[in-house]
Structure 1
Amino acid sequence: MIQIQELDPDRLDMAANMLKAIAHPMRIAILKHLEGGKKLTVTQIHELLGIEQSTTSHHLGILKDKGVLCSRREGKNTFYYLKHDVLSQMVDCLERCTCGE
């Protein structure tokens, strides 16, 4: 069990910022589409979500800035993916917690 004195304030701040970044319906949907090690471009994500490409880019920028996503450029395309695969477990947990049981 983690003791209170073991909690690093900088790590707690980073975790809180990641949670704030995720706390938006479209961003949760983005994470869901990136589960299982998927790597998708802005275009692919905006088509999956049915929102404007500029809006998709905005959400991806926030998620990347807060350490939730990474990106890799391949030719003309930039692929986005989860920085930590374990984040998909958090999305699964949210789905289970909101299913109304």
Structure 2
Amino acid sequence: MKIKDLDPQILEKAASMLKAIAHPMRIAILSHLEDGKRLTVTEIHQLLNIEQSTTSHHLGILKDKGVLASQRDGKNTFYFLKHESLRNIIDCVSKCSAS
């Protein structure tokens, strides 16, 4: 399928998701959620050494734009990639920025 064949609403949603991803901290969050990993806010903020409120803010944006999903388990909420194919974007960003 080619981009010109896509519905404008689908393109708008894709652009919105890409805008949400296009932040260094959010890319870092996504890199920790590769390969089906599910992490809590606490785990992510400890991995990235940032404030928990900042972590929650970025997770909220990613979830709102359809990049992440979450599942509550007791007191914890686990975040994960909503679509495993988003790994391709993360891989692309990693490879493209390395050269």
Q: Which residue of 1 aligns with 2:18?
A: 19
Q: Which residue of 1 aligns with 2:84?
A: 85
Q: 1:3 to 1:32 in 2, by over 3 A?
A: closer
SS at match of 1:37: coil
Q: Which runs of 4+ in 1 moved over 4 A?
A: none
| Percent of residue pairs identical | 69
Counting only pairs closer than 5 Å after superposition, residues 1-101 of structure 1 correspond to structure 2 as 1-2=1-2, 4=4, 6-100=5-99
SS at match of 2:98: coil
SS at match of 1:67: coil
How many residues are matched?
A: 99
Q: Could you tell me the TM-score, scaled by structure 2's length?
A: 0.96
- For 1:88 and 1:38, locate their aligned partners in 2 and report how far apart those are by CA, in whole Å: 12
- For 1:27 and 1:53, locate their aligned partners in 2 and report how far apart those are by CA, in whole Å: 14
How far does residue 2 in structure 1 lie from its aligned partner after superposition? 2.5
89-98 or 70-79, larger mean C-alpha shift = 89-98
* Max Rg structure: 1
How far does residue 3 in structure 1 lie from its aligned partner after superposition? 6.8
Superposition RMSD in Å: 1.1
**Structure 2 portions without partners, runs of 5+:** none
